[in-house]
A and B are shown apart, each in its own frame.
Chain A
Amino acid sequence: MRILSAKFGWSLLCVVILAPCLLAESAKDTCVDCHAKLEGKLKVIVEQSASSVHGHKGMSCTTCHGGNAETEVKDKAHAAGFRGNISRAQVTELCGSCHADGERMKTFNPSLRTDQLALYHTSVHGKMRDKGDEHVAVCTDCHGAHDILPISDPRSPVHPTNVASTCKQCHADGELMKSYRLASKQFADYSESVHHEAMVVRGDLSAPTCSTCHGSHGAVPPGAASVANVCATCHVMQAQFFNESVHKDAFPEGCATCHGSHKIKSPDDHFVGLAKGAACAECHSADDDPGRAAQAIHDRLTQFEAQIKDTRSLMDRASSAGMDVADAELEIAQAKDALTKARVRVHTASLPRVEAELNAGRTVVLKAHNTAEEALRERTRRRKELLIPMTAFLAVAISLGAYIRELERKPSD
């Protein structure tokens, strides 16, 4: 009896250990088995799907394509609910069947958005597609199909650093854009902009890309009246000062009037004033008061910048002479802040308001200048004052030397 129960125990243990293996064998994916051997469009690259965000979450081919992945018989596999190739017209609704389902998406990540499909229908892309246009962008055009990666993955086509290149696929296609009567040089312009430099060259993910201004799923071109609002989401103070200025009503296109839209260059002080290339010179001249004020703003800004540079070089001289000018460091930093603030105040188009900011800066830069000058004067004073004790020092040393010599001349006791 004891032997029997021992045999039963061993058999049960074997079943428990081997059961997962048997189950694993039964959970085979015949889609991959067959399609990995096919060529062309029907070939499945197993690694691509497995490394996608869907693959990581345990989704298989049947989640999107339907059918039965457990049978090796093609007809049975392609029977029950099989959708086969998903057409462009079906893509958004198919993706939305999960991504717009809040209950379902919560099971993967409670913070995931579920409004993408709704937003898509409000976008230019969505509206055109609803009208039957099959050329407009659908989910897979931007996110990919089998190889979809999370947005946070730098390899994803919708990672912030790649968004512009993804939009470019269609929007830089002259022929395609021509049919919609749209320009196709936005990407070329953006590539030369300060925003592109910040995003792609410096890797600053907070810099704007296409979707920052136009939206992503609900993409629309911002209307002329809303351009300033778009820029103001980041450039808050500039927008506030612009809204207080006389230019607000004169320029319905707001920021874009002077800065452009896609090809936004880093503005320097030459952007203000009446010199060639200055934005103000487009409308004003030396013959009108605003033109003269613009030139005065330019002159004050450049003079103040030169004053900061001059003080900086004086501080460097003092510093390299071993003098401590740490107090002036704080003041020079405050002066640079004042210059930045004054440049922002240029948007008020008011000389007195720019001047007020510069005056605050001039006070601190003067203090820094005085500190550096005092440090250099102190260095010179120390060196001059050293002459007196060193002369006395030398005299004592010579006397001591002479005394020793005299002492050694005498015969020792």
Chain B
Amino acid sequence: MNATARVQTWIDERLNLEEALSPLREKTVPVHRYSSWYFLGGLTLFLFGVQLLTGVLLLLYYHPSAGEAYESVQNITNRVQFGWLIRSLHSWSANLMVFCAFAHMFSVALARAYRKPRELTWISGVVLLFLVLGFGFSGYLLPWNTRAYFATKVGTEVAGQLPVLGHAMMVFMRGGEDVSGATLTRFFGLHIAILPALTIGMVLAHLMLVQKFGTSVPVSVENEWEEHPERRKEMRFFPNFFLRELLGWYAALGLLIVLAVFFPWELGVKADPFSPAPPGIKPEWYFLAQFQTLKLVPAHILFLDGEVLGILGFGLGGALWLALPFIEVLAGTRRIRWVKVGIIFVMVYLTAMSVIGYVSR
């Protein structure tokens, strides 16, 4: 018996790992024409891991105060050994993570993988997407540059428009009436403690549910397999699927490094709360659709404030999206087509508004 096997046996005798890992050995993944979409969830998880690792490294040098934040990021970028690489990796992987999370969610929605018994998997996934967006919003302010400062100002103002609790919410988020050092401290706490704790918990729950219910097969493939059982194909999760996933992670890491080297994430100009907002200020791309919609909404719709109505609309949209599995059940088999049309409409709408928001001045 070689040394590795002896160590494995030693650990197994104490922790009984073989039994714990046996479900993974028996786990299989369906193989069909849409199988490649299955990698998106794992890819999002990998990018979240990159975020955690690079985030911890950035924490070693970052100072969360209005007077020092910008300078500390400047120090990370210019003086700390490989600081520029870690910062760029953090920023690029954050954006790729948001992209992968959206792509994963829409692929799941189009495949209707949220059907019984996977409703809770869907809900935990949508909550994870909201948490990822929360990471993006809170992390954006941390370099304390002009763009981040004014984008946060606009973003928190939007929350302040909500009736009844809006103003209180805005003051709570900002730590006062205006975006200041207090806002930065709050966002920092949210970004490095509260959101990671919530996200790690939710990721574990999501993975547990995925493990419990297995991988969903799209309805069209399921029907095809029922008609032709000989066409049913499966792949072992470990090592076959896992190694493929690993190859995907490896490619993602390579892409991240290339992006970080060729397109280092810019720092911009230090925020000056007393200067006027620069023209054409926009949020990050993943909030552009909402931003553009609020720009297009008329000032008043009947007797209601257009902006408030827009924000309430997004809130309602989010709630409906969360409740998608139940809406499908309520719609019944006959109207299921309309649910699909609704999903496609949401995708097209968000993409179109983001593009218009990006190109418009």
> Are A397 and B250 within 8 A (Cβ)?
yes
Do the beta carbons of A397 and B254 come within 8 Å of each other?
Answer: yes
Is B254's CB under 8 angstroms from A390's CB? yes
The answer to whether A145 has its CB under 8 Å from any CB of chain B is no
Check B78–A404 contact: CB distance below 8 A. no
Query: Which residue of B has the minimal Cβ distance to A403?
Result: B243
Chain A residues contacting B352 (CB-CB under 8 Å) are none
CB contacts (< 8 Å) of B251 on chain A: these are 397
Q: Pick out which of these stretches binds chain B: A84-92, A164-172, A323-331.
A: A323-331
Q: Given A322-B263, A383-B261, A407–B239 Cβ distance below 8 Å?
A: yes
Which residue on A lies nearest to B78, using beta carbons? Answer: A324
In the complex, residue of chain B having the shortest beta-carbon distance to the beta carbon of A412: B236
Contact of B240 among A319, A400, A407 (CB under 8 A): A407
Determine how close the nearest CB of chain B comes to the CB of A340; give it in whole angstroms.
22
The dominant DSSP class at the B interface is helix
Q: Say yes or no: A324 contacts B74, CB within 8 Å.
A: yes
Number of contact residues on A: which range applies?
Answer: 20 to 34
Chain B residues with CB under 8 A of A386: 257-258, 261
Q: B246 touching A400 by the CB < 8 A rule?
A: yes
Q: Which residues of A contact B261 (CB under 8 A)?
A: 382-383, 386
Residues of A within 8 A of B56 (CB): none
Q: Mark A256-273, 1 if CB is under 8 A from B, else 0.
A: 000000000000000000
Chain B residue with Cβ nearest A400? B247
Q: Closest A-chain residue to B250, C-beta based?
A: A397
- Which residues of B143-161 are within 8 A (CB) of A? none
* A214, B234: Cα distance in complex, Å: 96
Q: CB-CB < 8 A to B183: which residues of A?
A: none
Q: Check if A404 sits within 8 Å of B250, measured CB to CB.
A: no
B306 at the interface (CB under 8 A from A): no
Stretch from B120-128, B264-272, B315-323 forming part of the interface with A: B264-272
A261 CA to B240 CA in the complex, in Å? 88
A404 & B258 in contact (Cβ 8 Å cutoff):
no
Taking chain A's interface residues, is the majority helix, strand, or loop, or is none over half, making it mixed?
helix
Judge whether B250 and A393 touch: CB under 8 Å: yes
Question: Which B residue's beta carbon lies closest to that of A386?
Answer: B261
Known: A322-B263, A326-B74. A397 touches B258 (CB 8 A): no
* Chain B residues, Cβ within 8 Å of A322: 263-266
Q: What's the nearest-Cβ distance from chain A to residue B29, in Å?
A: 13
Instruction: State A297–B244 Cα separation when bound (angstroms).
Output: 71
Pick the residue among A324, A327, A383, A407 that contacts B243 (CB under 8 A). A407
Residues of B within 8 A of A25 (CB): none
Partner of A396, one of B250, B263, B266: B250
B274 interface residue, CB < 8 Å from A? no
Contacts of A390 in B (CB 8 A): 254, 257-258
Q: When the two chains form their complex, are residues B244 and A327 in contact, meaning their CB atoms are under 8 A apart?
A: no
Q: Which of A377-400 contact B (CB under 8 A)?
A: 382-383, 386, 389-390, 393-394, 396-397, 400
A sample of 25 cross-chain residue pairs with beta-carbon separation below 8 angstroms, ordered by A number, consists of A319-B266, A322-B264, A322-B265, A322-B266, A323-B264, A324-B74, A326-B74, A382-B261, A383-B262, A386-B258, A386-B261, A389-B257, A390-B257, A390-B258, A393-B257, A394-B254, A396-B250, A397-B251, A397-B254, A400-B243, A400-B247, A403-B243, A404-B240, A407-B239, A407-B243
Taking A326-B267, A386-B257, A394-B254 as known contacts, 4 extra A-B pairs with beta carbons closer than 8 A to each other, sorted by chain A number, are A324-B74, A324-B267, A393-B254, A400-B247
Residues in chain B within 8 A of chain A (CB atoms): 74, 77-78, 84, 236, 239-240, 243-244, 246-247, 250-251, 253-254, 257-258, 261-267
